[in-house]
Amino acid sequence: MVEAFQHLTISECQRLLEGHEASSVEITRAYLAAIERVESRIRAFIGLTPELAMEQARNADAKLAAGTQGALTGVPMQLKDVLSTRGVPTTCGSRMLEGFLPPYNAAVVERLYDQGAVLLGKGNMDEFAMGSSTENSAFHTTHNPWNLDRVPGGSSGGGAAAVAAGECVYALGSDTGGSVRQPAAMCGVVGLKPTYGLVSRWGLVAYASSLDQVGPITKDVADCATVMNAIAGHDPRDSTSMPGERADYHHGANDGLRGLRVGMPREYFSEGVDPEVRSVVTEAVSVMEGLGAYVDEVSLPSTEYALAAYYIIAPSECSANLARYDGVKYGLSAPASDDASAMEVTRSLGFGAEVKRRIMLGTYALSAGYYDAFYLKALKVRTLLRREFDDAFQRFDVLASPTSPTVAFPLGERTSDPVQMYQSDVCTVPANIAGIPAISVPCGFADSLPVGMQLMGPALSEAMLLRAAYGYEQATEWHLARPPL
């Protein structure tokens, strides 16, 4: 029974549930059993919620019996532990929030619960979403299901690993500089970063508020559209939430690639990208061309400054956002020592090395005498990058690139070299800086590990991106590959 349900897509779950071939209780039990079987090797969860899952599954079966179900009713999922869940610990992978019980659900969690979704547990992550390998979690390291000695990517590594390993049907992650797309690529699944403001950030614990977005991690593109239908849309509680009608992201998915204009930014295929990864992605773009897409090269010159700008903007915002963890209002609270105040001791004990590093970087960049030289200059680069994307989208519908410059690297290989670790985000951070949507889809293997192709589009072009990704996916079989656990 476990094996029969373990790698279901959302669409397959829907068919089983609506056809009364299986109940949500049966499917949920099978996924809890799958977690018990493989979790000791993957470690994709920070915490499990089996009692809540079974209660939600029974409620979902009641909805199905009454004919009042939604597209995600009864489908087991994982939530990144940066999303507030009422009565369920939300730690952000940090000792600072260990055991913290939020009094409310994040907006996206409300929307999933309203549909009758089933929560299996909270996903492991780099502390406060700061990392590219899920090795910065204060609790444990997550392993890549394709090779247990490799990282799953980050910071939403728990979600990508769980979906790939068949521990849940889909997951929600957050993406500040690639934290949904990069682990999706490294684990061979689909990950989407929506347009900034399209999905509510209310209840998402903030890292960098002008960059953060919630996005789905799924087994295929159709599932990605289904989750987006549930979570996208205006939320008055989020001041950055876009107004407007909610879209149907399945619309136009079957229109194919004929006539689609695909640009290949040369800066994303240059030195620094592993030759095998470059070759696999180039071949994937050739497949798109063979399906009727028009393909040509394009240049985005400011891309070379994007990573540097990101690692000024994001730490600057995090230094302000994380100032709230003072040991007074919530989270860890340590007593003063002879040498330090209670707040100093709390922050020293509660934050890990990478979080401290980024707080210090951001505080320095915002300090008197350096604001103009660093932060203001980074904002100017952001403006240049946005303009270059706008110009490129005058010629092209989507831009294609590698999602990650390498496949999943060995555990521990980059933990002592932050700059090398930051390079993992070189292909993904530009989309966050510009606020545009981007999706990663499996497109092959290099060194026996998954490779993801990233497709980027102009603001609010999610339907176009999903159409392009779906057209490519249906012409290939990479999304059907499963790790040999």
Domain-located, residue 133: yes
Closest of 321, 343, 317, 319 to residue 332, by C-alpha: 343
Q: Choose, from 24, 84, 132, 155, the residue flagged as catalytic.
A: 155
Task: Say if CB 144 and CB 481 are below 8 A apart.
Answer: no
Task: Say if CB 475 and CB 202 are below 8 A apart.
Answer: no
Domain-located, residue 184: yes
Q: Per residue in 124-151, pLDDT tens?
A: 999 999 999 999 999 999 999 999 999 9
245 burial (CB, 10 Å; 0-12 / 13-18 / 19+) is exposed
Cα Rg of the chain (Å, integer) = 21
Per the structure, the count of domains in the chain is 1
Task: Say if CB 45 and CB 78 are below 8 A apart.
Answer: yes
pLDDT of residue 41: 98
Domain-located, residue 428: no
For residue 339, give every residue at least 6 positions away whose Cβ sits within 8 Å of its Cβ, in sequence order, or none.
none
Alpha-carbon distance 213 to 236, whole Å?
16
Q: Per residue in 288-318, pLDDT tens?
A: 999 999 999 999 999 999 999 999 999 999 9
Q: In what order do the strands lie in the sheet with 76-80?
A: 45-48, 118-123, 76-80, 170-175, 213-218, 190-193, 438-446, 449-456, 398-402, 261-265, 294-298
Q: Choose, from 137, 179, 302, 319, the residue flagged as catalytic.
A: 179
Domain-located, residue 223: yes
Task: Say if CB 17 and CB 65 are below 8 A apart.
Answer: no
Domain-located, residue 139: yes
The strand pairing partners of 453, in sequence order, are: 402, 441
Whole domain around residue 75: which residue ranges? Answer: 2-259
Alpha-carbon distance 183 to 324, whole Å?
29
454 burial (CB, 10 Å; 0-12 / 13-18 / 19+) is buried
Would residue 219 show up in a list of annotated catalytic residues for this protein?
A: no
From first to last of its 485 residues, what are the pLDDT tens digits of the chain? Answer: 566 788 999 999 999 999 999 999 999 999 999 999 999 999 999 999 999 999 999 999 999 999 999 999 999 999 999 999 999 999 999 999 999 999 999 999 999 999 999 999 999 999 999 999 999 999 999 999 999 999 999 999 999 999 999 999 999 999 999 999 999 999 999 999 999 999 999 999 999 999 999 999 999 999 999 999 999 999 999 999 999 888 999 999 999 999 999 999 999 999 899 999 999 999 999 999 999 999 999 999 999 999 999 999 999 999 999 999 999 888 899 999 888 899 999 999 999 999 999 999 999 999 998 999 999 999 999 999 999 999 999 999 999 999 999 999 999 999 999 999 999 999 999 999 999 999 999 999 999 999 999 999 999 999 999 999 999 999 999 999 999 98
Domain-located, residue 269: no
Up-side HSE of residue 310: CA atoms within 13 Å toward CB? 29
pLDDT of residue 1: 53
Q: Choose, from 23, 24, 80, 424, the residue flagged as catalytic.
A: 80
For residue 150, give every residue at least 6 positions away whose Cβ sits within 8 Å of its Cβ, in sequence order, or none.
143, 144, 186, 407, 408, 409, 410, 411, 449
Cβ neighbours, 10 Å, residue 417 = 10
The strand pairing partners of 320, in sequence order, are: none
Report the first-to-last Cα separation within the chain, whole angstroms.
16
- Token readout for 69 is 């179900």
- Tell me, yes or no, if the pTM score tops 0.85: yes
Domain-located, residue 186: yes
pLDDT of residue 2: 60
Would residue 174 show up in a list of annotated catalytic residues for this protein?
A: no
Closest of 385, 67, 107 to residue 234, by C-alpha: 107
249: domain CATH number is 3.90.1300.10
Angle CA(227)–CA(232)–CA(233) in degrees, nearest 5? Answer: 155
Would residue 80 show up in a list of annotated catalytic residues for this protein?
A: yes
Up-side HSE of residue 74: CA atoms within 13 Å toward CB? 30
Give, as one character, the DSSP assignment of residue 60: H
The strand pairing partners of 300, in sequence order, are: none
DSSP structure string for 258-296: TT-EEEEEGGGGSTTS-HHHHHHHHHHHHHHHHTT-EEE
Closest of 25, 228, 224 to residue 5, by C-alpha: 25
Domain-located, residue 231: yes
